[in-house]
Amino acid sequence: MKPRDLIPLVLLLGALALTPLFASNLLLNFLVSALIIALGAQGWNLLGGYGGQLSFGHAALFGTGAYATAILQMKLGLNAWAGFAAGVALAALAGWVIGFLSFRARLRGSYFALVTLAFAEVLRILANAADFTGGAAGPADQAATGARQPAIRNPGRGAVGRAGLHPGRGTSDAVDRSRPLRRASGRGARE
């Protein structure tokens, strides 16, 4: 591969790196969702395409990373980027444990698929039952309790998401504030 063949790739990466400086929350939310789907597709490609194994455990790893990031940010007040790195590390550790136990038993084909599905279900049940995860509702918004709300800062756009978990959330809050007030007589007070 010649260096000039890398020019389009470098330009694309540069444009993606500059996107948060000028993009709306809607576009950022779309790009984040697209990247999450691409990440899942790469996981399936590695395990299913190259490894020849069918896995239903990707949800367990995704959920482990997401819950770890959210809990570290919302309950312990950890920086969003440090929480993200810790979530990735914890998900990788969970994947290593599941893979080690499954491949140590030399599981292949549908047996491997069922074991990964079982691990995903066990982790889902534990997340729904545990108090520190917020149970079935998930990590609660700590604004009512006065807990610190870390945020990912987007230069020129303020905070992107209250806890860095949902970029479009700030947009819905802005829409709520823009609605006209209704009075008690029916002409302007909030209900």
pLDDT band for 178, please (50, 70, 90 cuts).
very low
Ranges of beta strands (E only) in 2-77 are none
Is residue 118 classed as helix, strand or coil in its secondary structure?
helix
pLDDT of residue 150: 46
What residue type is assigned to position 27 of the chain? L
- How confident is the model at residue 189, as a pLDDT? 46
Helix or strand run (H / E) with residue 152: strand 152-154
d(CA 108, CA 52): 9
Between 178 and 81, the higher pLDDT residue: 81
> Which comes out higher in pLDDT, residue 170 or 69?
69
8 A C-beta contact, residue 167 and residue 32? yes
Range in 22-36, 85-99, 129-143, 166-180 with the lowest mean pLDDT:
166-180
Single pTM value for the model: 0.61
Q: State the alpha helices, DSSP H only, in the chain.
A: 7-22, 25-44, 58-74, 80-104, 109-129, 169-178
Q: What is the mean pLDDT of the chain?
A: 76
Structure tokens at 128: 């729904």
Q: How confident is the model at residue 11 (pLDDT cuts 50, 70, 90)?
A: very high
pLDDT of residue 46: 85
CA distance 72 to 80: 8
Q: What is the pLDDT of residue 154?
A: 43
Between 45-54, 137-146, 167-176, the lowest mean confidence (pLDDT) is in: 167-176
Identify the top-confidence range among 131-140, 154-163, 168-177, 180-189.
Answer: 131-140
- Give me Rg for the CA atoms of the chain: 21
Residue 168 burial (CB < 10 Å; 0-12/13-18/19+)? middle
In the structure, what pLDDT confidence band is assigned to residue 77 with cuts at 50, 70 and 90?
Answer: confident
